[in-house]
Amino acid sequence: MSEFTNIFLALLLEATPFLLAGVIISVVGGPLVERILATAALRNSALAVAAGASAGLVLPMCDCGNRPLAHRLALAGRREFALAFLVAAPVINPIVIVTTWLAFRSAELVVLRLLLTVLAAVAVAVVLSRLRRDIALPLDAAAGGESHAPPGPGTWAPRILDEFFELFQFLVVGAALAAAIQVFADQEEFLSARGVFLSIAAMMFLAFLLSICSSVDAFVVAGLGGAIGLGPALGFLVFGPLVNLKSIPMYLRLFSGPAVVLLVIICAQVAFAGAAIAELRAW
Amino acid sequence: MVRRAGYGAAAGGLGLLIAWRLLDGTARNLVQGWYVPVLWVTAAALLALAALGLAAGFRRPAGRARITGAGVLTAAFIGLPLILGALYTPRPLASASLDLSATAARQFGASASAADPARRNIYQWAYEFETADPAAIAGQPVDVIGFVFRRPGDPPDRLRVARFVVACCIADAQGFTLPVAWKDAGALANDQWVRVEGRVGISPDGEPIVLAASVTPIEAPQNPYIYP
């Protein structure tokens, strides 16, 4: 039990600063980003997807931090940008690029990780932005809730608190699930999977269960063992930051069920197919 | 107003909890060293938000508070880490979390390589033990600190000195150990922090081993982990 509590509190301590920063950026900087996206150039869908997929380079945010802004922009109708940003930013950012390089010292792996993530982001943005139904669920705070004052600096603090705790409770659930898996599941079972496809699927599932922040997951994969090939490593590094146990409850609070299911399926397909091709080519 | 005041109070509680665990040093048992300033900023931001949120909440007239199932669930989820974090003192990872079968297959990051033997930590020595020709490192001086790890049935003159490497938080921790030959190894308890001084030797099975000249019990270091 003490090991569970240790890991549970560690995951919360790790994620809380980034969730809070993400909410602050969403509330304070969201209107500015919305105005930028309303400019003529970014009304073009292709450009909006490209901008969303690369926005992490100037807004380096991990998967806990980028969701509030992506949700806000999706709610405001900027679906293409929001979805591409949601999927890409946890990997397409300078911190993750540097840490992946430091862990592996392999330009091939770094480039493939970035390419597959961009591919997943584009696929998610293109498919989900065509859904007719709303994909972003209003938060109580965003829908009005108890606040009827016009948005501005005077209302920032209560709105940040509302949005932060709306999401924090789902972070708690995700962290508890991930901690339980860390304590009670045997990682060696995943590492012992044999065959290209099975080992990639096992590593993707392990990444889903472990829910490690994208800024350091490369160190973990590099340390898991010399027997792990390029494909399984890519499966872990591409899928884990996009979809993991810690993030699923938060996804479901922010986005509709069908949108989340589609996002998970698309990310899994891109990560699996890309990793398999890379592994088979490496053979 | 009730929800807003509740969120304000929760932010205050969370900010105070983080500040408390930073002040008593136990936050370092959970996260990387570079997280400490990040957590200080987070605690300060939460406390400031709590003050502003509570002030805004109390400025509004109090409506009739209605207790709902969803509200109770929200309070429980937000309250859980506050209660656990207050009641449970985070401890550094120890021998119970070590998995030697996993460490046998470990790879190493770039920081694992250090030229000067006198400055190598356990992580860097584990890299040398795994990758170098034992004859090439035999005789080099070793001076490391770590905690004792012994399994039931280990010979009384053998122990492992261990340390966890943490990149971000303990969810990504990996344990590394060095085999040590020391005449009084059987008298040391698991998780006792020690300083091991000696030289690299070669065991009868041809593997490198630390031939300890001294194994001195020490206080646990402020940073229990190695950061890659």
Tell me the per-residue pLDDT of A187-225, one tens digit each, with 9 for 90 and over. 666 666 677 788 899 889 988 988 877 877 887 777 665
Q: What is the pLDDT of residues A72-116, one digit of tens each?
A: 888 888 888 889 999 998 899 888 898 788 777 788 999 999 999
Determine the Cα–Cα distance for residues A60 and A49; give it in Å rounded to an integer.
Answer: 17
User: Which residues 175-214 of B have a C-beta within 8 angstroms of A?
Assistant: none
Q: What is the pLDDT of residues B127-184, one digit of tens each?
A: 889 888 889 989 999 999 999 999 888 899 999 999 998 888 888 888 899 999 999 9
Tell me the three state secondary structure of residue B150: coil
**B99 vs B111, more confident:** B99
Got the DSSP string for A129-146? TT-SS--BPPPTTTT-TT
Identify the domain containing residue A226 by its residue range. Answer: 2-282
Please, what's the b/e burial string for B145-183 (b: 16 or more CB within 10 A of its CB; e: otherwise)?
bbbbbbeeeeeeebbbbbbbbbbbbbbbbbbbbbebbbe
Q: Which residues of B touch A212 (CB under 8 A)?
A: 168, 171-172
Whole-model pTM? Answer: 0.78
Portion of chain A with pLDDT greater than 90, in percent:
22
Tokens coding A257:
């069920």
Q: Does B1 contact chain A (CB < 8 Å)?
A: yes
Determine the Cα–Cα distance for residues A78 and B145; give it in Å rounded to an integer.
Answer: 54
Interface contact flag, B56 A24, Cβ < 8 Å? no
ipTM of the complex: 0.87
Q: Does B101 contact chain A (CB < 8 Å)?
A: yes
How many CB atoms are closer than 10 A to CB B184? Answer: 11
- Which among B46, B88, B169 is the nearest to A13, CB-wise? B169
Question: How close is the nearest chain B Cα to the Cα of A26, in Å?
Answer: 15
Torsions phi, psi of A28, nearest 5? -85, -45
Interface contact flag, B90 A220, Cβ < 8 Å? no
Chain B: residue whose CA lies nearest to A173: B77
Number of domains forming the structure of chain A: 1
Pick from A224, A227, A234, A103: nearest CA to B228? A103
